[in-house]
Amino acid sequence: MRLPLAVKWPRLSYVPATRRDLRLDFLRGFCALAMIVDHIGGASWLYALTGGNRFYTSAAEGFVFISGLVVGLVYRELCARAGLGPALHRLLVRAAQLYLLAVGLTLVFLPASELLGLPWAQGVDLSDPAAFVVSVLTLHRTYYVVDIPLLYALLLGITPLALVLLHEGRTGLLLGLSWGLWALYQVFPDQADMPWPIAGNYAFHFSAWQALYFTAVVLGYHRARISAALRDIPRWPALVIAGTAFLLLVDVYRRGDALWRLLPADRLGDDVTELFVLLFGKGDLRPGRLLAFAVVFAFSYLVVDRLWAPLHRLFGGLLLPLGQNALYAYSLHVLFVGLYGALALWLPPLTASERLLKTFYTAVQLGLVALTWAAIRARVLLDAARDWRFALGAPAAAALACLLVLPLDPTPTLPGWGHAAAEAAAPADPRLARVFGTPVPREGSRRVPEFAEHQSLIRRPGAASSGREAPRVSPYVGAIRGTLRQQLFYSSALDAEMPYFVYLPPDYDTAGRRYPVLYLLHGAAASNEEWLAYGVVDEADRMIVDFEIHPLIIVFPQGDYSYWVNHVDGPRWGDYVAVDLVRHVDATFRTLPLATRRGIGGLSMGGHGALQLAFTHPQVFGVVGAHSPSLREDDGDLPFLGTGDEWAQRDPVTLAQRARRIEHLKVWIDVGQLDPYYERAEQLAERLSARGLELQWHADPDRDHGDWQLYVADYLRFYDYALNAR
């Protein structure tokens, strides 16, 4: 008996309608949208979709991978239709177009950002416009958000070699060379960094990212063969498996650092990187990041493939134009980033609830996405961009403008630019007289100071977009050969955008090497300028130039009156430094991300914080210096330190006896015998010596709590010895 009615399910999956794979256009359009969202404004509701550049993978990986897939698909077909020669010719022409795009964007965006002092300005030396222009033209200089076009131009520039290998059936050789270079870079980054040192290239190292791109090229080139091999795999179960893996990844991310602390970190060797950076570092494209991208891309591709009909109906009109004109959309987004940053300079800081700020930034980002889509639909300069006269003329005009305008600009006054000599001649006493000071909390005082002027340095997410305080240099630093910057970064532990100063040694932009890092913590009643006021930047720069110490990076974070520890039922100031800041610095600058090459030191309250962080994070810091450390008793004066066991977990003297895996630490302690904390400091030194730590103990019989400026050179010699020891 036949059923009277036959149930017909609507077809949801993708059915090829043209030779172009619209699924890849759809996904690349989403990557373009995500870049606009992640680069403009602050945290918004859209971060739940894009990851906000804080997830284990980002839109950049998707953009590079899909670009490689498209190259493999297109040029395999072109080779089959017209032969290898025409395919190589077209590929070289495309690489030349990408080169001109990267150069043009850099010549416009970089000078504008530096001259206007936008929040991401890096203090690039523009005093020699000709040298600057040549460095951009020869691809020795890149910048924030224009580094992706440069990476893509370099990748396309050597793709003809890959296409020749693929055409001759040498796929295994291509993959071996590509992944071999990636592996070498993970172990020997200085020796395997190719093709040459590129100043300002902090996020996308070619030697690592080329593996993702060329793997995609291989997959695209052999797509027919791979599809035939995977034809019998059921798609819906595959989607369920990929979706489960994706949800697990999201769950790990949402649990955050609490989950990582469950791992047996004490079993790790002394010279390993901090766990998160080791697994998910973006610039080096670490293994965990590759795995996370594989999970996210597989899930996204299967979702689009299986649910194409409803997704295309809902979002195809927006994402397909963005994906089919991805480079145009990216170039337009660079313009929007600059305009938004410039506009924010003239607007007052946003003060509103977090929910209202998120709503505002969501509206801004959606509006710019819509404006990009409208520009594509209206073909604004879209046809001109494909004209060789425009492609050549625009970068040439930008280069000429740099040569004519930059010599007239009066703003290059950052240290190292040769315009701060007058400040260098200023006597030291007035400068030191302006130091904020680090008073000793007196007995019986139970009041926690409220330092309003320093609290203003902390910003809720998005508030930094005003750009009024960053970047700027400190008035306490004279003419130096290196570079001092002030920057902002988002700390998930504090849920705030935090300022920090960073000193980069004189050869940072030219040597192409990696450097050890020293984190210096200020004391109570002070800000992150306290160490600068004591002359540590000037002295470090002089000692590096005179070859007294090795070059190093020094970071000066802001800590308020926090004691640099996770408070009892309060802000996680310790995680802000040991996790968030370290992760950010390693991802932003060319550091040696090893515990043995990462030091932390502090004075007074900062000395307490440096010891506590080194004892509780020995896998992060291998060197610690405590200069007149403020080692308080369990008296309840500071409620956020707790009492009893809570206090013991934050007390360096107790941790010196209890903390695990700290025997490898190199420790410096200096204190005056007239210091009210001398007895506890002596007890601390005895406990560390009993455990066999490498300790340098300095007790001055005539010294009270302070006088740190007299010992800056001695401190730097210790850090130099400890951070560069074999």
pLDDT digits (tens, 9 = 90+) for 628-681: 999 988 887 888 888 888 889 899 999 998 888 898 899 999 998 888 899 999
On whether the CB atoms of residues 641 and 597 are closer than 8 A, the answer is no
What the block records as the tokens of 337 is: 């980033």
Phi, psi of 459 (to 5 degrees): -130, 140
Domain ranges of the chain: 21-54+314-374, 57-232+381-411, 235-254+273-306, 421-439+471-723
Phi, psi of 342 (to 5 degrees): -65, -40
Residue 118 CA, distance from chain mean position: 17
Q: How far apart are CA 247 and CA 237, in angstroms?
A: 15
pTM (predicted TM-score): 0.64
Q: Which residue has the tokens 């370099």?
A: 154
In this prediction, residues 104-122 reach a mean pLDDT of: 83
Angle at 656 between CA 654 and CA 657, to 5 degrees: 70
CATH number listed for the domain at residues 421-439+471-723: 3.40.50.1820
Q: How far apart are CA 561 and CA 524, in angstroms?
A: 5
Cα-Cα-Cα-Cα torsion 171, 177, 179, 181, nearest 10 degrees, comes to -160
On whether the CB atoms of residues 520 and 536 are closer than 8 A, the answer is yes
Whether residue 599 is predicted with pLDDT greater than 90 in this model: the reply is: yes
Q: How far apart are CA 493 and CA 475, in angstroms?
A: 30
Task: Give the CA distances from residue 147 to residues 99, 109, 137, 481, in Å, rounded to whole numbers and listed in that order.
Answer: 12, 11, 14, 26
Q: Is 578 helix (H, G, I), strand (E, B) or coil?
A: helix
- pLDDT interval class at 344 (50, 70, 90): confident
- pLDDT interval class at 277 (50, 70, 90): low
Amino acid letter, residue 292: A
Q: How far apart are CA 309 and CA 545, in angstroms?
A: 64
Cis peptide before 471 (omega within 30 of 0): yes
Query: What's the pLDDT at 264?
Result: 53
- Edge-first strand order for the sheet with 496-504 is 483-491, 496-504, 553-557, 517-521, 598-603, 623-627, 666-672, 694-700
Query: What's the pLDDT at 108?
Result: 93
Give the contacts of 550 (CB within 8 A, at least 6 positions apart).
516, 544, 720, 723, 724
Q: How far apart are CA 108 and CA 398, in angstroms?
A: 6
Q: How far apart are CA 121 and CA 471, in angstroms?
A: 6
User: Any bridge partners for residue 223, and if so which?
Assistant: none
Query: What's the pLDDT at 206?
Result: 92
Whether residue 467 is predicted with pLDDT greater than 70 in this model: the reply is: no
DSSP classification of residue 580: I
Give the contacts of 59 (CB within 8 A, at least 6 positions apart).
30, 31, 32, 34, 35, 38, 50, 51
Q: How far apart are CA 382 and CA 384, in angstroms?
A: 6
On whether the CB atoms of residues 503 and 553 are closer than 8 A, the answer is yes
Query: What's the pLDDT at 590?
Result: 87
Output b/e per residue, 274-295; b: 16+ Cβ within 10 A: bbbbbbbbbbbbbebbbbbbbb
Q: Which residue has the tokens 């490898």?
A: 664
Share of the chain above pLDDT 70, in %: 84
What the block records as the tokens of 583 is: 């992760």
Question: For 685-709, what is each residue's pLDDT tens digit?
Answer: 999 999 989 899 998 888 888 788 8
Q: How far apart are CA 375 and CA 382, in angstroms?
A: 8
Q: How far apart are CA 163 and CA 157, in angstroms?
A: 11
Phi, psi of 425 (to 5 degrees): -80, -10
Question: For 202-238, what is each residue's pLDDT tens digit?
Answer: 678 899 999 999 999 999 999 999 998 888 888 889 9
Question: For 154-201, what is each residue's pLDDT tens digit?
Answer: 999 999 999 999 999 999 999 999 999 999 998 887 688 888 878 777
The sign of the CA dihedral 170, 176, 179, 185 is negative
First to last CA, the chain: 85
Give the contacts of 458 (CB within 8 A, at least 6 positions apart).
494, 496, 497, 498, 558, 560
- pLDDT interval class at 351 (50, 70, 90): low
Angle at 184 between CA 181 and CA 186, to 5 degrees: 110
Q: Is 430 helix (H, G, I), strand (E, B) or coil?
A: helix
Cis peptide before 119 (omega within 30 of 0): no
For residues 42 and 103, the model is more confident at 103
Q: How far apart are CA 340 and CA 199, in angstroms?
A: 25
On whether the CB atoms of residues 53 and 253 are closer than 8 A, the answer is no
